[in-house]
Amino acid sequence: MADVRPFRALHYNPDVVPDVATVLPTVPASAPSDLLAYDRDRSPFAFRRLEPGLVPHPDAPRLHEQAGRTLRSWIRNGTLTHLPQPAFLRLEQRFVLHGAPMVRTGVIGRVRLHDYGDRVILPHERTLRAPRLSRTDLLRSTHAQFSPIYFLYGDPELSLERTLSTAPERPPLCAWQDRDDVLHTIHVLDEPGVVNAIATTFRERQLLIADGHHRYEAALALRRESTTTGADTDWIMGFLANAHAPDTVVQPTHRILRGLPGFRTDRFVEQLRALFSLEEVDAPLEQPALQPLLDDTETLLLALADTPGARPRLLRLHPRRDRVAEAIRRHRLPPVAERIPLLLLHDLILPRLANLSVREQETTSHILHTHALAEVREALGHPDTHFAALPGRLAIDPLLEIGNAGLFLPQKSTYFFPKVPPGLAMLDLHLP
């Protein structure tokens, strides 16, 4: 199964960059180009000089080649330095989610690449061509990976957590509090007993890609290229977190449906009644009021703007089990769809009741995605918005079942918070 090993992580030299907050990005790689330029220009050692971002740009190849030269220059002059010996890194993330303090802990190591067909590394979402090609070009130019793929593995016994609890306490390699007030702390794990126990933990386990599908497929593409020399392209840097740990949470991403030709809300609601019983929810479209429902893995809410300026009407959909099961069989959908409201929405409701096929959903402008209920409220005030779909959080076990079955969720189905930050640790493919 998974081959996970220690590595000589590349990181900012604290003698040159005492505070990584001055160089790490303030916006994600998908941010607009002006914000990416700000991140790039805020320091001569800014991380964005290594990872310029994913905004389409005619100068992208030049920026990627410059990133490769900058990386090697920073290694030579000591801006970046490698750990003296191979080690795992423990990443601890402290954050508050909906008022509850949480701690997520996992390890960062190098993970041997596998084609998806090997059933060792499992995807759960499809990728888009443009960002995949951009990631591949940057990796080709730098032979380095600047942020780890976020992997989940199943371990209800919490064996790795017990191993990490035995590691001696040391000062952290680095710590950083990001714009979402998440405190990220990295400790080096290089004791032979701990290193061996961590590697052994994964030898009988599959890994599910939680976040980073584009970067993983970029690494696969580079490995297939015969022109790559001087770099070990069989590996990817990964952050590995236990899917069964209490603070591993999969947040929902809301959908806003707009501009569908011939769409009539009254007819749509009436058709829904054939498959679902509809419960009126008397609550405002606000996080505190809806959070108990959104924490329920079986929730699927529809917010309808029946009257302009009025509070949106909320309907909770309860599947009529026999009818939904029959529809799933008739349309040859995977049986697990009955337990994942997002699959019911994208594979049954939208194609059959809103005339929006699965293929059209991948490229359409009729669906907007957001994590913020404030954006949902704003969108429902626009005359071309029909409704918003608000799914509950995804349960971990069906997500693992999706990956093991070789199935895919719709794009932007999962939102793992907090993100694994880029730039705190990097993998240099020229070193073990």
Residue 333: pLDDT above 90?
no
Mean pLDDT of 377-405: 86
Q: What is d(CA 259, CA 262) in angstroms, rounded to the nearest whole number?
A: 9
| pTM over 0.75, yes/no | yes
Q: What is d(CA 212, CA 121) in angstroms, rounded to the nearest whole number?
A: 12
Residue 178: pLDDT band with limits 50, 70, 90: very high
Q: What is d(CA 252, CA 80) in angstroms, rounded to the nearest whole number?
A: 37
DSSP for residue 56: -
Our CA angle for 125, 128, 133, nearest 5°, is: 125
Max Cα–Cα distance, the chain, nearest Å:
68
Mean pLDDT of 328-355: 88
Give the pLDDT confidence of 65-78 residue by residue, as tens digits: 999 999 999 999 99
pLDDT recorded at residue 432? 62
Mean pLDDT of 309-318: 88
pLDDT recorded at residue 295? 87
Residue 392: pLDDT above 70?
yes
> Which residues is 428 bridged to in the sheet?
144
pLDDT recorded at residue 307? 67
- CA-nearest of 303, 301, 324, 297 to 414 is 297
Mean pLDDT of 41-58: 85
- CA-nearest of 396, 333, 398, 345 to 369 is 345
pLDDT recorded at residue 379? 93
Q: What is d(CA 24, CA 12) in angstroms, rounded to the nearest whole number?
A: 10
> Which residues is 13 bridged to in the sheet?
none
User: 372 is written with which tokens?
Assistant: 């913020």
Give the pLDDT confidence of 252-302 residue by residue, as tens digits: 789 999 998 889 888 999 999 999 999 999 999 998 899 899 988 889 999
Give the pLDDT confidence of 180-232 residue by residue, as tens digits: 899 999 999 999 999 999 999 999 899 999 999 999 999 999 999 866 556 79
The more confident residue out of 310 and 245 is: 245
pLDDT recorded at residue 229? 57
Residue 422: pLDDT above 90?
yes
